[in-house]
């Protein structure tokens, strides 16, 4: 099976066939998401928050993205993989930007990159696209600018903000993006953008009237020790609770000498590797 591509994604928009996207940061999460039938995987810099324990995406480096993208690419060999360009890696010289993109594609194995921002990043987007790399835009709440925005707030709440977002979307479309993530944007503004651009919009906290949805893996599955429910997320499993229960049973069985049992050990005649399984 071949991965989805950006031509098919545009067709999905035209046909009203929603694009499904979830983040993945390692081999098992990527493999499980692929087996579950996801259209697109995102190696988001949200990995800073959800797997590295930072309190924002700002500390995430190119090395981090490359490392995690490699694991994801090994796990999901038939799925389209987008990786985030990290904080401040596309605002300086174009040579530096292209070098970062090259590493993420060549060393990491991504099929595309995602970049946060509007007209100010359009020249960089254009150069990356000209190099043959699909770019996914990302506007609305852009976590790499959290210190400038002043927190994680809903975007597009007044006329002026709505107009700004629409202009950003159009600038990105002109620069050649294959799609745009809309994060924490009002449903009305997300719908207007979706209608007025030809490439797919992928919403997160952007309501129903977009061309696809993206959520963070750990949010969908409540996978984390300090999980807090967000209104725009729907949780489909409680993996955190499962993990805590499983590990606490393991701890108590070892303490209580209930594990291991005789069958878990080996005798001298059990020499071959097959006997590791079953
Ligand atoms: O890093 C991330 O997970 C993202 C999504 C929220 C779109 O950028
Ligand atoms: Na991100």
* Whether residue 120 is found in the same domain as residue 179: yes
Instruction: Answer yes or no: is 45 within a domain.
Output: yes
* Whether residue 232 is found in the same domain as residue 220: yes
Provide the CATH number for the domain around residue 193: 3.20.20.60
The residue nearest atom 5 of ligand 1, judged by CA position, is 44
Contact 43, 118 (CB under 8 A): no
Q: According to the model, what pLDDT value does residue 273 have?
A: 64
Ligand with the closest atom to the CA of 144 = 2
Nearest-angstrom CA–CA distance, 43 and 26 = 9
Nearest-angstrom CA–CA distance, 137 and 116 = 6
* Whether residue 251 is found in the same domain as residue 119: no
Q: According to the model, what pLDDT value does residue 274 have?
A: 64
Question: By residue range, what is the domain housing residue 17?
Answer: 6-237
Q: According to the model, what pLDDT value does residue 62 have?
A: 98
Chunked into runs of 10 residues, the chain (278 residues) has average pLDDT values of 94 98 98 98 97 96 98 98 98 98 98 98 98 98 94 93 98 98 98 98 98 97 86 96 97 98 88 67
Which of 149, 155, 230, 142 has its CA nearest to residue 185? 155
276 CA from centroid of ligand 1 (Å): 39
* Whether residue 211 is found in the same domain as residue 259: no
16 CA from centroid of ligand 2 (Å): 25
Complex confidence, ipTM: 0.99
Instruction: Answer yes or no: is 97 within a domain.
Output: yes
From the list 96, 183, 188, 195, the catalytic residue is 183
Q: According to the model, what pLDDT value does residue 203 have?
A: 98
Q: According to the model, what pLDDT value does residue 6 have?
A: 98
* Whether residue 37 is found in the same domain as residue 102: yes
Nearest-angstrom CA–CA distance, 38 and 240 = 21
Ligand 1 close to Cβ of residue 45 (< 6 A): yes
| Inter-axis angle of helices 159-175 and 122-130, nearest 10 | 20
Say whether 39 counts as a known binding-site residue: no
Instruction: Answer yes or no: is 1 within a domain.
Output: no
Instruction: Answer yes or no: is 87 within a domain.
Output: yes
Instruction: Answer yes or no: is 160 within a domain.
Output: yes
Ligand 1 close to Cβ of residue 76 (< 6 A): no
* Whether residue 112 is found in the same domain as residue 215: yes
183 is catalytic: yes
* Whether residue 129 is found in the same domain as residue 218: yes
Q: According to the model, what pLDDT value does residue 248 have?
A: 98
Say whether 45 counts as a known binding-site residue: yes
Check: pTM over 0.90? Answer yes or no. Answer: yes
Ligand 1 close to Cβ of residue 33 (< 6 A): no
Residue 71, SS3?
helix
CB atoms under 10 Å from CB of 237, counted, come to: 11
């Amino acid at each position: 099976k071949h991965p989805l591509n950006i031509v098919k994604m545009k067709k999905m928009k035209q046909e009203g066939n929603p694009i499904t996207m979830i983040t993945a940061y390692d081999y098992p999460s990527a493999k499980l998401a692929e087996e579950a039938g996801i259209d697109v995987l995102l190696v988001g810099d949200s990995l800073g928050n959800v797997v590295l324990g930072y309190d924002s995406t700002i500390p995430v480096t190119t090395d981090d993205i490359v490392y995690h993208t490699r694991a994801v690419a090994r796990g999901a060999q038939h799925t389209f993989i987008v990786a985030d360009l990290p904080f401040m890696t596309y605002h300086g010289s174009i040579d530096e930007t292209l070098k970062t993109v090259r590493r993420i594609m060549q060393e990491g194995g991504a099929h595309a990159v995602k970049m946060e921002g509007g007209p100010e990043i359009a020249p960089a987007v254009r150069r990356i696209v000209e190099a043959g790399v699909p770019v996914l835009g990302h506007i609305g709440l852009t976590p790499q600018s959290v210190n400038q925005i002043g927190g994680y707030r809903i975007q597009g709440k007044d006329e002026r903000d709505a107009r700004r977002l629409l202009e950003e979307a159009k600038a990105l479309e002109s620069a050649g993006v294959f799609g745009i993530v809309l994060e924490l944007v009002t449903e009305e503004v997300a719908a207007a953008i979706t209608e007025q651009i030809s490439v797919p919009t992928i919403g997160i906290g952007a309501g129903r009237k977009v061309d696809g949805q993206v959520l963070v893996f750990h949010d969908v599955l409540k996978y984390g020790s300090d999980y807090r429910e967000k209104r725009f997320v729907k949780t489909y499993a409680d993996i955190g609770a499962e993990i805590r229960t499983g590990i606490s049973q393991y701890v108590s069985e070892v303490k209580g000498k209930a594990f291991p049992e005789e069958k878990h050990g080996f005798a001298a005649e059990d020499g071959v590797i097959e006997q590791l399984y079953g």
